[in-house]
Amino acid sequence: MASGSVQPGRIRILKNGSQPSDGKVGPVVYWMFRDQRLRDNWALIHAVDQANKANVPVAVAFNLFDQFLGAKARHLGFMLRGLKQLNLVMEETLQIPFYLFLGEAEETIPNFLRECGASLLVTDFSPLRKVRNCKEEMCRRVGESVTVHEVDAHNVVPIWVASEKLEYGARTIRTKINKKLPEYLIDFPILKPPITKWILENQVTDWDAIIAEVLRKGAEVPEISWCEPGEQAAMEVLMGSKNGFLTKRLKNYSSDRNNPLKPGALSGLSPYLHFGQISAQRCALEARAVRKASPEVSDVQLIAFVMVLLVFATLFICFSFYLLFKAVDTFLEELVVRRELADNFCFYQPHYDSLQGAWDWARKTLMNHASDKREHLYTREQLEKAQTADPLWNASQLEMVHYGKMHGFMRMYWAKKILEWTRGPEEALEISIYLNDKYSIDGRDPNGYVGCMWSICGIHDQGWRERPVFGKIRYMNYAGCKRKFDVDGYIGYVKRFVSEMKKRKAENQLCGKPKELRS
């Protein structure tokens, strides 16, 4: 079995190649898909390990699909700008060539393997149907002697190690993940240039032309300017000295993360995690380091401190540590447990994006209420254009369309309202997934499918008091939001943001700069 610095549990053998007749071992190719980074990438580390072990060179290949789950300029621009940086740094620092192919990966990657005589194909892991089907087809198309390894470089605990089955909820997967963390939440080795150099000519990619083409084709959903793509920018968001999440914003995470008027309380890491421009394991390691640097203060200790010392300075310091400590725990719960629970769902539930994927109780209750009278019924077009009678919902839809990322709390309300205002749960699910995938910079992700399934089909949730339309699915309403945060403030904030965007867009167009907000 594969040996090296990657834990064997992280690697699955998708295909065992036969011994080549001439005994010659060819290069290693890493087909990069979900983990688009150089740093902290177990799949790349494994590919280099294997190449060094066999004394062969290694290359990285990336395939830009003609169509990938409806990705538009917003998604493809972000992705390709990140890859352009990666290409440069990888060739400069690691001397590993980067090949970009256009078309269907099940054709381009096997063709490349044939061309360079590769013996081992390494891929990273995604639970999504399209990628899994593509890998199956690749295994059929690559030569007899080619071995295929899949490395879970996305999750801290590899999905198949965390659990062998579809988990019911966070409650059931949490202990399983926590048990494995000491083994898997470890430091990454430093990657050095491979021993054997690549002999084929390196590909020169005209990134600017390719980016211009995807921007043109996907112009319907333009790029966003607030989120700088690439590994370096991702690390800045995590650890930056100006406004880094762990360095500057962490302490308010547990108290303010459900307040849509305080988006800065959230990490803002989802675009980078989605495109694999940062490793969740790196985020968890850094968060844990913050936690270790602060003395542990439990609730009881806090009260004891307060009662005994009654010194304001001490109280203040203890409370700050307490907040930090709580924030790290909450962040790790979202980043590791919730995120891996989403991957678990998509990996073990083939119907991860349809009503069929809901538990029996939820399907039953939703079907029992499918024909309940709705106060409003909206079409997909009305919803897409934010033309509902609910200004709060409209604001959240506009935040997603123009800003490219809806606040996490609003995402729940948004999806639940779609259930309330459409002809049934299937249609609600279809519309919510369509809109989320189309406009969210972090869309087309297991977290998105699971977010919609949680809101509409109650997965990873429990049954609640039965009510019209929702049945036993958890309900959310405007009044509830009003109790939680300043609803009018949020509506006003989105309005100002959207009009500013429109103004800047018009200015850019006047200046002959079609690139959205890139002035």
DSSP conformational letter for 294: S
Residue 270 interacts with ligand FAD (CB under 6 A): yes or no: yes
* Residues β-bridged to residue 59: 29
Q: How big is the site for ligand FAD, counted in residues (CB under 6 A)?
A: 28
Of 273, 366, 435, 501, the residue at the interface with ligand FAD (CB under 6 A) is 273
As given in the structure block, the two tokens for residue 488 are 């009018």
- Give the C-alpha separation, 436 to 448, whole Å: 7
- 433 and 353 Cβ atoms separated by less than 8 Å: yes
Of 109, 128, 400, 412, the residue at the interface with ligand FAD (CB under 6 A) is 412
Residue 59 interacts with ligand FAD (CB under 6 A): yes or no: no
* Residues β-bridged to residue 98: 60
3-state DSSP: the chain helix, strand, coil percent, rounded to 5? 55, 5, 40
Residue 105 interacts with ligand FAD (CB under 6 A): yes or no: no
Residue 415 interacts with ligand FAD (CB under 6 A): yes or no: yes
Burial of 480 (0-12, 13-18, 19+ CB in 10 A): exposed
Of 10, 135, 257, 417, the residue at the interface with ligand FAD (CB under 6 A) is 257
For ligand FAD, which is the closer residue by CB, 106 or 437? 437
Residue 34 interacts with ligand FAD (CB under 6 A): yes or no: no
- 134 and 238 Cβ atoms separated by less than 8 Å: no
* Residues β-bridged to residue 60: 30, 98
- Give the C-alpha separation, 160 to 150, whole Å: 12
Residue 408 interacts with ligand FAD (CB under 6 A): yes or no: yes
Residue 218 interacts with ligand FAD (CB under 6 A): yes or no: no
- Give the C-alpha separation, 319 to 297, whole Å: 8
Residue 399 interacts with ligand FAD (CB under 6 A): yes or no: no
Alpha helices in 257-311 (DSSP H): 270-274, 280-293, 299-309
Q: Minimal CA–CA distance to 15: which of 118, 107, 154, 89?
A: 118
CB of 169 to ligand FAD, least distance (A): 12
Residue 250 interacts with ligand FAD (CB under 6 A): yes or no: no
Residue 339 interacts with ligand FAD (CB under 6 A): yes or no: yes
The string of DSSP letters for 37-87 reads -STT-HHHHHHHHHHHHHT--EEEEEEE-S-STT--HHHHHHHHHHHHHHH
- Of 27-35, 43-51, 435-443, 484-492, the segment contacting ligand FAD by CB under 6 A is 435-443
DSSP conformational letter for 150: E
- Of 155-163, 183-191, 225-233, 268-276, the segment contacting ligand FAD by CB under 6 A is 268-276
For ligand FAD, which is the closer residue by CB, 452 or 501? 452
DSSP conformational letter for 209: H
Say whether 271 sits in a helix, a strand or coil. helix
Residue 473 interacts with ligand FAD (CB under 6 A): yes or no: no
Of 447, 469, 472, 473, the residue at the interface with ligand FAD (CB under 6 A) is 447
CB of 260 to ligand FAD, least distance (A): 10
Of 37, 74, 249, 338, the residue at the interface with ligand FAD (CB under 6 A) is 338
For ligand FAD, which is the closer residue by CB, 35 or 49? 35
Residue nearest to ligand FAD (CB): 451
Strands 120-124 and 11-15: unpaired
- Of 150-158, 160-168, 330-338, 473-481, the segment contacting ligand FAD by CB under 6 A is 330-338
Of 45, 191, 269, 428, the residue at the interface with ligand FAD (CB under 6 A) is 269
Of 47, 440, 472, 487, the residue at the interface with ligand FAD (CB under 6 A) is 440
Give residues in contact with ligand FAD (CB under 6 A).
257, 266-270, 273-274, 334-335, 338-339, 342, 408, 411-412, 415, 436, 440, 442-443, 445, 447-448, 451-452, 454-455
